Structure 1
């Protein structure tokens, strides 16, 4: 549901010709972070690292920082940005295809944990660390994904190592004592509710415990907590998940998770206005300012982005029929929502798309057709 602050800012932006824009309610974000942190406060619950790839805007990171144990980054650019915005917070660096300059940055900036994706990557990291006189702490990333039918996103293919490949890393580690093995990392799939996430976590723990011979192992269970674009009021059950993980935990272990979307998605809105309403081949269309070059998620995930209409329109074209909400791009794929009920929708009305706080602007194809960039607004609360 749209917050009062976002509604007021949306109307003001429309009056000032400041649309489209992303509007982030930092008060709502803070409440979500407090809820997650409270759930993860008991014995045996995992450390909370935020996956910066979901939304690394500086005000977002600063709002989240008091509730985090660390941040997970996945590129040299993210590393530089997050280290600059949050200089004191622990960082983990993950992701396939790490370049030599990125590995050098990891060593220079003192990343706390490196998630190693392959024996070749481990060899290169060990060589660079020896040449620069550095020590580095690593987790080996295992790929247990396999066939995960029905999941929103299975992390197979290039992510991590097959179980047998993990064993090939032992010889590298044996001859490079300056590379310290701290544990194992696995992120198998995304879009899981708490029961499925707990089942996946148990699978990871069983594998890791059978392969790690460490006095105080660290096991990163990944992220992938579900969000429901069809029902924004339905949230991931953090208390149930936290209790389940605590029941699985063993003394001496450090467990860790790295959610992104489920932390920030609900506190951001993409706000725009209606430029035209027209009928074509028996269907109604509302053409909105901006488009999926700003908010690519609905066309990528093939869902209807939830929205609120703030009536502002005058006597121009309007419809009360089922309507498809599209943007300004010259492609039929520029669609926010198909054949949805919007009440009366008229030229000039403001449309605020919810659940735009993660994988919005940062994952979109900004420069297609060179339309103006959106504004960015962060509401304190």
Structure 2
């Protein structure tokens, strides 16, 4: 963090306008991704979920390291193909259009995750019209119960996947289709799970279900996609998902649980990129209303929607900046408790709340950590037409 503070100092020295920037440490990203790949069990493959952060430098940095990319739109397919023409691609998500299915076939997507019986019929028809056979996985919406997590895509009514009770009928339909080849199953049930051992046992549950269906319906299973869902702890940054414990547990479970000859796929986004990015915003004003102290920054949830979306107070550090040159008094607050808000005309534009600080001044920079995933990519960029933040990509070590 000291190095990143120095980067902020340098950036601010080069600018006369208030600083507002995403800063990404590509060196950190590459090291983290490489460590994950190197420690995976031999039967596993790690794909990057593009939805977490689809900036071109991020994709270019990961392309030589990960085993491929997971996408959820034709636009994401095209972004991947622009930097990695031959990389394996997994295509998931509900509500695929005909154009997306046709585009997936044209761009040689490796596996299509089929979300319903109707989508299966459409893939079969469109693949046949293109003179192709599409390799597919059926996405399963498990009945549960599931481990504790922040978001659930299965285990309860959601728009994702095929109800576990309906899987036998859809397997039968897939076997009757002439232009699809059923290669296995896709399970992406939860998001932001922090329990490494529990998550490994969830993967084992996926594999046991797959083996049951394979035996019952005489299926040749090539792939089991265990999804993503590995968490980031935004409340305690020093207590993150234990990758080593996860892979150690997998190594113990897979020999007994993995279907013979199958490859286990993981599609991680947040866990891959969160730590490599920071959102740096300059303090514009400090004010007190109804007994609470507010720090207003150049930026807000239109740039960094994650805290509002997940309803948490996002962790940050303060970078003090000297050299105040304005011909007016510099506002400051000492030994206070602050709520950090942006420039939007809504009381929901809150990035952090009730945080104790020793000192904060107008002109200082607040550095939101672990902002490399689901930050800029999910934000409503043009609300109120404020300028976009800078996007700064560093090759060295900063984050």
Q: CA deviation at 1:56?
A: 1.1
Is the aligned partner of 1:80 residue 2:83? no
Residues 211-250 of structure 1: pairs in structure 2 closer than 5 A: 211-212=213-214, 213-249=218-254, 250=258
Aligned length: 377
DSSP 3-state at the match of 1:322? strand
Tell me, in whole angstroms, the C-alpha distance in 1 between the residues paired with 2:300 and 2:319.
Answer: 18
1:181 aligns with 2:182: yes
| Counterpart pick for 1:114 among 104, 112, 115 | 112
Question: Aligned to 1:95, what secondary structure does the other structure show?
Answer: coil
Which residue of structure 2 lines up, in the alignment, with residue 32 of structure 1?
Answer: 32
1:253-279 CA deviation, whole Å, 9 max, x = no partner?
211111110110001000110000111
Separation in 2, partners of 1:12, 1:49: 35
1:234, CA displacement in angstroms? 2.1
SS at match of 1:142: strand
Which moves more between the two structures, 89-98 or 6-15? 6-15
The answer to whether the aligner puts 1:319 opposite 2:333 as a matched pair is: yes
Cα distance in 2 between the residues matched to 1:276 and 1:335: 14
- Cα offset, 1:301, TM superposition: 0.9
1:105–1:359 Cα change, 3 Å? same
Equivalent residue for 2:50? Answer: 52
Q: Which residue of 2 aligns with 1:349?
A: 364
Q: Counterpart in 1 of 2:139?
A: 141
Indicate the residue corresponding to 2:210 in structure 1: 208
CA contact under 8 A between 2:18 and 2:298: conserved in structure 1?
no
> TM-score, structure 2 length as denominator?
0.91
Give 1:130's match in structure 2, choosing from 120, 128, 131: 128
Would you say the 8 A contact 1:272–1:350 is kept in 2? yes
- CA distance in 1 between counterparts of 2:21 and 2:230 reads 27
Shift of the alpha carbon at 1:343?
2.0
> Partners of 1:299 and 1:171 in 2: how far apart?
43
Change (3 A) 1:248 1:230: same
Q: Which moved more, 1:189-198 or 1:123-132?
A: 189-198
Question: Is contact 1:119-1:165 (8 Å) kept?
Answer: no
Which segment is superposed worse, 129-138 or 58-67? 58-67
The answer to whether the aligner puts 1:305 opposite 2:314 as a matched pair is: yes
**Residue 228 of structure 2 contacts residue 268 of structure 2 at CA under 8 Å; is this kept in 1?**
yes
Distance 2:143 2:393 in 1: 37
C-alpha root-mean-square deviation of aligned residues, in Å? 1.6
Alignment pair present for 1:94 and 2:92: yes
- Give the gaps of 5 or more residues in structure 2: none
Cα shift at 1:148: 4.5
Counterpart of 1:23 in structure 2 is 23
User: Which residue of structure 1 aligns with residue 191 of structure 2?
Assistant: 190
State the SS of the aligned residue for 2:22: strand
Unpaired segments ≥5 residues, structure 1 = none
Equivalent position of 1:265 in the other structure: 274
Task: Report if aligned partners of 1:116, 1:122 keep a CA contact under 8 Å in 2.
Answer: yes
**Corresponding residue of 1:43:** 42
